[in-house]
Amino acid sequence: MSEERFHPARERRRRAGIIFRVACLASIGFSIAVLAILIVDVARDGWSWLSVDFLTRYPSRIPERAGIKSAILGSLWMMALTAGISFPLGVGAAIYLEEYAPRGWLTRLLQTNIANLAGVPSIVYGILGLAIFVRFLGFGRSVLAGAATLALLALPVVIIASQEALRAVPNSLREASYGVGATRWQTIRHQVLPVALPGILTGTILSLSRSIGETAPLIMIGALTFIAFAPTSPMDPFTVLPIQIFNWTAKPQAEFHDLAAAAIIVLLVVLLLMNAAAILLRNKYQKRF
């Protein structure tokens, strides 16, 4: 190329680079700004409504007397039952897939199926829960029906997270265990699971924290929005924090919007605590091999 036909156009290209860099930074800034605005918006609306009374009173048609006691208790019930169902099933499935399953079409089918289930909209799980748990199995519109539905929703994520944790356990541990005569289950029970447990728990807590914020599937199975009592058994009707928030947000009066904001603060704090617990667990017990 001759000297006079070569145009490096350095200045123009440098400027294009700067513009692009600023655009990229602006995108990141957009997300951060939205998060900040969302938190400020919620805090400004809801902060003055937060009080001990708000946490310990039942919902009311009068905004000044309304509280979220039944929603908090319902969410706690839901959390405990969902964890109780999805944790053993999810870890069991992960152990099967990682430690037992032979390479073949069946295992591939299971794996593809789990990946696809993770992409099914949550409201479709609600339709499933309505047809199977509420009607077919006769659980009614109960805590148990809701928890079973959320457990199925959480299951793919629990399985995938547990599989990753199991995969991180080095094979030398298993081989040493087999070498001293342990059976496969003894090896898993005494060597593999203890090492993988922090990772499994971290993944489970994270997927549970997502279920705790779920609204649509519980609306489907008919979680009531006006519950002035605490559920005392898994067969009782219930409400949960996200449904209470939905209910108040959907009302036209501004006072109820502020109540929703106050309930959102409570929900976000719960989620924050769960995520912090998961991160602490990961940092404290994570072993590197």
Partner 1 sequence: MTHSEAAITSGPGSAPPAGGALRSPAALDLGYRMGRRWGERLIAALLFGCGLISVLTTVGIVVVLVTESAGFFREVPIAEFLTGTRWSPMYSEQHFGILPLLNGTLLIAAGSMLVALPVGLTSAIYLSEYAAPRTRAVIKPILEVLAGIPTVVYGYFALTFVTPLIRMAFPGTGIFNAASGAIVVGIMIIPMVASLSEDALNAVPLSLREAAYGLGATKFEVSTRVVVPSALSGIVASFILAISRAVGETMAVTLAAGATPKMTLNFLESIQTMTAYIVQVSLGETPHGTLEYRTIFAVGLVLFLITLVMNLVSQRITRRFREEYE
Report in angstroms the alpha-carbon separations of 49 from 36, 52, 55. Answer: 20, 10, 10
Considering only residues 13, 65, 108, 287, which one is a binding residue for partner 1 as defined by CB under 8 A? 13
Interface stretch with partner 1, choices 55-63, 67-75, 195-203, 219-227 (CB under 8 A): 219-227
Under rule CB under 8 A, residue 51 binds partner 1: no
- Our CB check for partner 1 shows the closer of 102 and 233 to be 102
Which token pair is 48?
């003055």
Residue 173 near residue 191 (C-beta atoms within 8 A): yes
Q: How many positions of this chain bind partner 1 (CB under 8 A)?
A: 99
The DSSP string of 187-232 is HIIIIIHHHHHHHHHHHHHHHHHHHHT--HHHHHTT--S---S---
DSSP conformational letter for 9: -
- Our CB check for partner 1 shows the closer of 171 and 233 to be 171
Interface stretch with partner 1, choices 47-55, 61-69, 113-121, 281-289 (CB under 8 A): 113-121
- Our CB check for partner 1 shows the closer of 9 and 228 to be 9
Which x/- pattern over 259-278 shows residues binding partner 1 (rule: CB under 8 A)? -xx--x--xx--x---x---
CB of 137 to partner 1, least distance (A): 11
Q: Which residues between 171 and 190 bind partner 1 (CB under 8 A)?
A: 171, 174-176, 178-179, 181-185, 187
Residue 259 near residue 247 (C-beta atoms within 8 A): no
Considering only residues 34, 137, 276, 280, which one is a binding residue for partner 1 as defined by CB under 8 A? 34
Residue 242 near residue 267 (C-beta atoms within 8 A): yes
Which token pair is 160?
């995938």
CA 173 to chain centroid, in Å, comes to 31
For residue 142, give the 3-state DSSP assignment.
coil
Considering only residues 74, 146, 156, 199, which one is a binding residue for partner 1 as defined by CB under 8 A? 156
- Our CB check for partner 1 shows the closer of 106 and 228 to be 106
Number of residues in the chain: 289
Under rule CB under 8 A, residue 116 binds partner 1: yes
Q: Cβ contacts of residue 235 below 8 Å, gap of 6+?
A: 139, 140, 142, 143, 144
- Our CB check for partner 1 shows the closer of 119 and 233 to be 119
Considering only residues 55, 80, 96, 230, which one is a binding residue for partner 1 as defined by CB under 8 A? 96
